[in-house]
Structure 1
Amino acid sequence: MRTPNYPLAVALAEAGWNNSETARRINCRALQHGHRAVAVDRSRVSRWIRHGEKPRPPVPGLLAELLTEHLGRPYSPQLLGIGPARGVLVFLDPKEYHGLAVKAAAANMLLEHYVHELIRDSISRCPPA
């Protein structure tokens, strides 16, 4: 099971858009850009938020564009958690791996999710560049 998409949920709440309004705006913008095959509904938006599903292009770009215009600050699909994932390869020695695995199990989390949360926490503590 995927995790909820909190960045997207926060941005939509800040915009004051419910799932239906979000879907309506995306569909209208898609038509303006000539994307006739885009048909987003409220249940699809809900799955993006609740289950971390990612919409297919061109929807991530359209939604980022809409939120940028509405909220007055730049958004990207990656910032909203709906863009393509960026992979990072980290080599661990067996003791490091085992230590992380034990802590993830104690937190009742998959190892990948546990490490992801550690990295997010670490990044949030860094001063802006």
Structure 2
Amino acid sequence: MTTPNYLLAVALAAAGWSNHETSRRLNSRAADRGHPGIAIDHTRVGRWIRRGELPRPPVPELLAELLTEQLRRPYTPEGLGIAPTRNVVVPLDDREYETLTLNAAAVNMPVKNYAQALLRRALSQIPSPNTVASKEV
């Protein structure tokens, strides 16, 4: 993948972490959790952001955990764009596509990334079927 990972970039900026700080925290957490073979450096973090490369497990989970603690709101590897993706095709009519492209341009994001962010946000507002089922019992 060669598309920048804006989701990760924004989350790391919100945490106030540089690539060096991110790698330091990840290495520390990995060692604490029994993963001594993990050795992330700042250049690797940069590739996750600039090129959209995906870190190997357990790094996505560890990073989501660290950001959740730092920013005090839930983060997931999928929400940070650092988990394998599944392609979904959503047909849009001309008006919908025009609205999407105008809004993406207004926030200086590629249309694909903007659409992904919108869909993720909408999905995060919907209770999971397991939660709904457990409340009904």
Q: Same fold (TM over 0.5)?
A: yes
AA paired with 1:3? T
Cα distance, 1:5–1:38 mapped onto 2, change above 3 Å: same
Specify the alignment match of 1:45 in structure 2.
Answer: 45
CA shift in 2, pair 1:68/1:39, >3 Å: same
Give secondary structure in 2 for the equivalent of 1:73: coil
5+ long unaligned stretches in structure 1: 93-112
Instruction: Give the partner amino acid of 2:71.
Output: L
Cα deviation per residue 1:67-116 (whole Å; 9 max; x = unaligned)? 000000000000000012123367x8xxxxxxxxxxxxxxxxxxxx87x4
Q: In 1, are the aligned partners of 2:48 and 2:54 still within 8 Å (CA)?
A: yes
In the alignment, structure 1 residue 60 sits paired with structure 2 residue 60? yes
The structure-2 alpha-carbon separation of the partners of 1:117 and 1:48, relative to structure 1 and needing over 3 Å to count, comes to closer
CA displacement at 1:60 relative to structure 2: 0.3
> Hey, what does 2:9 align to over in structure 1?
9
For the 8 Å contact 2:11–2:67, the answer to whether it is kept is yes
**Correspondences of 1:46-125 after superposition (within 5 Å):** 46-88=46-88, 116=112, 119-120=115-116, 123=119
Long gaps (5+) in structure 2:
92-109, 127-137
Shift of the 88–41 alpha-carbon distance from structure 1 to 2, 3 Å rule, reads: same
Q: 1:53 and 1:121, CA in 2 relative to 1: closer, same or farther beyond 3 A?
A: closer
Trace 1:20-39 onto structure 2 (pairs within 5 A).
Answer: 20-39=20-39
Distance 1:34 1:124 in 2: 31
Say whether the 8 Å CA contact 2:5–2:48 is kept in structure 1: yes
Report the aligned-residue RMSD: 2.9
Name the TM-score, length of structure 1 as normaliser.
Answer: 0.72
Tell me: CA distance 1:75–1:118, structure 2 relative to 1, closer, same or farther (3 Å).
Answer: closer
Q: Distance in 1 between matches of 2:22 and 2:114?
A: 31
Q: Deviations over 1:51-72 (max 9, x none)?
A: 0000000000000000000000
